Amino acid sequence: MSLVLSANADDGHNLWLRPVKAKPVKVIGANAKSAMMTIAKKEVEQRWLGDENATVEFRIVKDPTVKADGFKITGNAISATSESGILYGAYELLRRQQTGDLSNVISNPSYKIRILNHWDNLNGSIERGYAGNSIFWRNGDNTVTDKDKQIWEEYARANASIGINATVLNNVNASALILDAGHLDRLKAIAAVLRPYGIKTYLSINFASPIGLGKLPNADPLNPEVVKWWKEKVAEIYKLVPDFGGFLVKANSEGQPGPQDYKRTHVDGANMLADALKPYNGIVMWRAFVYNASEKDRAKQAYLEFMPFDGQFRDNVIIQVKNGPIDFQPREPFSPLFGALKKTPIMPELQVTQEYLGHSEQLVFLATLWEEMFKSDTYQEGKNSTVARVTDGSIFPQKYTAIAGVSNVGLDTNWNGHEFAQANWYAYGRMAWNNQLDSKTIADEWIKLTFAPADADKDWKSGFLDPVKKMMLESREAAVDYSMPLGLHHIFAGSHHYGPGPWWAPPGTRKDWTPPYYHQADANGIGFDRTKKGTDAVSQYHEPLASQFNDVATTPEMYLLYFHHLSWDYKMKDGKTLWDDLCSHWDSGVKQVRQFQVVWDKVEPYVDVQRFSRVQEKLRRQTRDAQFWKDACILYFQQFSKRPIPDYVERPINNLNYYMTTDPLSMKPVQQRR
Ligand code: BDP
């Protein structure tokens, strides 16, 4: 048994970089003294699948069509203006060989800084991490072991292979201790391992560090003592890590300290840090994820707070904006800040870890979500002002362009908890490199790299590649359907955000943290009225979107209840009532996941046993939990709609009380009705 297993087993640790049977190849033009070129050369030698005994040439050239990090592949020659370009070109050439694309290419990255944000705490846990503990921090134990270095190197290599060139090593809810001597020493050790792979390190900082660490009486950004403290701290960091990237800051958000504690503004706070970093070419990534409980509509707040400051930030500040106005929901419209801040660079923030999309329990391929965002037209500078183009420098001249993804990496053997969560890490990197890439291409590449046998043939394509690709491409819409269709959002069970909790509103909880605030269900109907008659969030969008979203007849149905409060009998485009249509969506989402189980069972002959059974097990759970979503939502909202469940919808398998008293993550009873 164990022999069979080991002959046909894959623990997932190699990600999309599984070893291949390389053919002999000679690499010329590589600078033997450079650590980065040594890596590029080694990769080509270990993974070459082209002609036997071919010669691959690395050329550093002057070429105005090739930007920093970009490259040209012509036959077996890779030319670039920098060593990092050669490295990325090498990975691209190898990927092309493996996926069967032998065409020449010239490729430049969409964003200069392509960064992963780790929400890793210094005690080793990871906020919203579902794949084990932190690869970077071990609860104050800052000794660096060989095993640490090995993991960091594997991590760096995986990132470099998809073009990621930056990483924030700790949680945005940052501890001041990240800047103490012990943690900075560890930063130095991590940076040393990541550097040859072209990856710069950054840190999240706690705005009150001068108090917590520096023992100053306050952290007022206009206090000269505070300014001095930061300058000295920054100097200390650069002494250890001369190519340090800069700071990520979550300020005056969800209880974090910030300049507003001293009646100063985001500009005061960000510029003070920017000035300290400037002499070293460091940057500040200042988050726009701000909202407070007193406002009527959380969706409007980032725009309201940041628009007045446009043009006032230093040129080494970038405002980091989540893809949607609320919070990484399965579906939201894009943030109205994209394209609206015209004199301030914005970097989109995506969530690779699946906080609101089934953790690492559910198969949900996020590339389609991100593609939807990139392709959304903001109309800010006329037609074709897509989110991609207003953030990547195509429309606004920007010194820095950047994009961030909240990482799903942990110490689990397969890095991401779910085999298919690896696809989200991969997709994020590929889209950060090229924001015009479509999800289908990325899924195709990833499946080939991750699962194809060396002798993949037509049979493999029709038996494995095609059905698995289809499943991945449908998976996000399926998740939207069984959880929050038609523009519903944030109706999660409290705190862990795994299953449904549309009823969740414990006394004393901030209203804007409770689902009833978002769904607004009552006897008359459901949905959040953000039209001009409601909170007027629609007016934060540029025309024609403002009018389009304001009018229920022209609002895309996928955003319907995000912008409108509608009666249960509202007639949908297909003639169904809103209530019936909602039920249909919940139901079809569940049916689709059941179908994913069938797809996966059918591909069994093509997958190693280990990965096959792990995914099979996860899909079982996903089906159970999708049903939990559907049943709980139908039964809960039915109390308001007072309408029957349509005939064609499968009946709930438990009563409402069961769903309200069972925790959807642990499936254990909860003491109180949540
Ligand atoms: C929310 C998460 C919380 C994060 C916060 C953020 O639930 O854990 O700290 O976003 O992005 O979605 O700051």
Distances (CA, A) of 160 to 90, 367, 620: 10, 19, 34
Would you say residue 2 has pLDDT above 50?
Answer: no
| Cα-to-centroid distance, 656 and ligand 1 (Å) | 29
> Is the domain of 370 the same as that of 502?
no
> Is the domain of 508 the same as that of 398?
no
Helix (H) or strand (E) holding 155: helix 146-161
Taking the CA of residue 104 as centre, how many other CA atoms within 13 Å lie in the half-sphere pointing to its CB? 8
pLDDT at 294: 73
Enter the tokens of residue 662: 């069972």
Pocket test for ligand 1, best of 117, 170, 205, 289 (most atoms within 8 A of CB): 289
> Is the domain of 300 the same as that of 404?
yes
Indicate whether 170 belongs to any domain: yes
CA–CA gap between residue 133 and residue 413 (Å, rounded):
11
Question: 461 or 294: whose pLDDT is higher?
Answer: 461
Task: Give the residue among 137, 118, 139 at the shortest CA–CA distance from 129.
Answer: 118
> Is the domain of 213 the same as that of 342?
yes
Would you say residue 5 has pLDDT above 70?
Answer: no
The residue whose CA has the least distance to atom 2 of ligand 1 is 128
> Is the domain of 87 the same as that of 196?
no
CA–CA gap between residue 408 and residue 128 (Å, rounded):
8
From the alpha carbon of 328, which atom of ligand 1 is closest? 12
| Cα-to-centroid distance, 187 and ligand 1 (Å) | 24
String of DSSP letters for 65-131: TS-TT-EEEETTEEEESSHHHHHHHHHHHHHHHHHT----EEE--S-SEEEEEP-B-TTS-BTT--S
Indicate whether 6 belongs to any domain: no
Residue 37: domain span: 13-107
Indicate whether 674 belongs to any domain: no
The residue whose CA has the least distance to atom 10 of ligand 1 is 327
Indicate whether 233 belongs to any domain: yes
* Residue 533 near residue 541 (C-beta atoms within 8 A): no
Pocket test for ligand 1, best of 121, 125, 128 (most atoms within 8 A of CB): 128
Query: Dihedrals φ, ψ of 177, to 5°?
Result: -65, -15
pLDDT at 30: 86
Pocket test for ligand 1, best of 168, 172, 285 (most atoms within 8 A of CB): 172
Pocket test for ligand 1, best of 120, 248, 254 (most atoms within 8 A of CB): 254
Residue 671 pLDDT grade (very low, low, confident, very high; cuts 50, 70, 90): low
| Cα-to-centroid distance, 396 and ligand 1 (Å) | 29
From the alpha carbon of 253, which atom of ligand 1 is closest? 13
Provide, rounded to the nearest whole percent, the portion of the chain with pLDDT above 70: 98
Residue 4 pLDDT grade (very low, low, confident, very high; cuts 50, 70, 90): very low
H-only helix segments in 376-438:
387-391, 422-433
pLDDT at 409: 98
> Is the domain of 33 the same as that of 148?
no
Indicate whether 468 belongs to any domain: no
| Cα-to-centroid distance, 611 and ligand 1 (Å) | 31
| Cα-to-centroid distance, 327 and ligand 1 (Å) | 8
Indicate whether 407 belongs to any domain: yes
Q: Tell me the average pLDDT across 621-628.
A: 98
What angle in degrees, to the nearest 10, is found between the helix axes of 578-602 and 609-641?
A: 170
The residue whose CA has the least distance to atom 13 of ligand 1 is 172
Burial string for 236-247 (b: 16+ CB within 10 Å, else e) reads: ebbeebeebbbb
> Is the domain of 403 the same as that of 287?
yes
- Final residue of a structural domain among 451, 473, 491: 451
Indicate whether 3 belongs to any domain: no
In terms of phi and psi (left: phi > 0; alpha: psi -120 to 50; beta: otherwise), the region of 409 is beta
Would you say residue 7 has pLDDT above 60?
Answer: no
* Ligand 1 pocket at CB < 6 A: 127-128, 172-173, 250, 254, 289, 327-328, 355
| Cα-to-centroid distance, 240 and ligand 1 (Å) | 30
CATH number for the domain including 593? 3.90.1330.10
Task: Give tens-digit pLDDT for 408-463.
Answer: 999 999 999 999 999 999 999 999 999 999 999 999 999 999 999 999 999 999 99
| Cα-to-centroid distance, 193 and ligand 1 (Å) | 29
The residues that are catalytic are 254, 327, 355
Would you say residue 291 has pLDDT above 90?
Answer: no
> Is the domain of 141 the same as that of 269?
yes
From the alpha carbon of 349, which atom of ligand 1 is closest? 11
> Is the domain of 300 the same as that of 407?
yes
Residue 8 pLDDT grade (very low, low, confident, very high; cuts 50, 70, 90): low
Would you say residue 123 has pLDDT above 90?
Answer: yes
CATH number for the domain including 431? 3.20.20.80
| Cα-to-centroid distance, 104 and ligand 1 (Å) | 42
- Final residue of a structural domain among 83, 107, 131: 107
CA–CA gap between residue 275 and residue 315 (Å, rounded):
10
Task: Give tens-digit pLDDT for 190-199.
Answer: 999 999 999 9
From the alpha carbon of 171, which atom of ligand 1 is closest? 9
Neighbours of 279 (CB within 10 A): 11
Neighbours of 294 (CB within 10 A): 8
The residue whose CA has the least distance to atom 11 of ligand 1 is 289
Per DSSP, the three-state class of 526 is strand
From the alpha carbon of 497, which atom of ligand 1 is closest? 7
Strands (E), 176-261: 200-205, 246-249
Task: Give the residue among 296, 266, 379 at the shortest CA–CA distance from 333.
Answer: 379
> Is the domain of 40 the same as that of 71?
yes
CA–CA gap between residue 244 and residue 14 (Å, rounded):
28
Q: What is the DSSP letter of 462?
A: I
From the alpha carbon of 327, which atom of ligand 1 is closest? 12
The residue whose CA has the least distance to atom 12 of ligand 1 is 327
Residue 672 pLDDT grade (very low, low, confident, very high; cuts 50, 70, 90): low
Enter the tokens of residue 164: 């990621």
- Final residue of a structural domain among 107, 123, 147: 107
Q: How high does pLDDT run on average in the chain?
A: 96
String of DSSP letters for 580-626: HHHHHHHHHHHHHHHHHHHHHHHTGGGS-HHHHHHHHHHHHHHHHHH
CA–CA gap between residue 68 and residue 73 (Å, rounded):
15
| Cα-to-centroid distance, 621 and ligand 1 (Å) | 25
Q: What is the DSSP letter of 461?
A: I
Enter the tokens of residue 15: 């990600």
The residue whose CA has the least distance to atom 1 of ligand 1 is 327
Indicate whether 630 belongs to any domain: yes
CA torsion through residues 525, 528, 531, 533, sign: positive
pLDDT at 293: 72
> Is the domain of 383 the same as that of 497?
no
Name, in order, each residue with C-beta under 8 angstroms of 299's C-beta and a sequence gap of 6 or more: 325, 326, 528, 530, 535, 537
> Is the domain of 257 the same as that of 290?
yes
From the alpha carbon of 356, which atom of ligand 1 is closest? 12
pLDDT at 118: 98
Lowest mean pLDDT among 231-240, 284-293, 335-344, 555-564: 284-293
Work out how many domains the chain is built from and give that number: 3
pLDDT at 336: 98
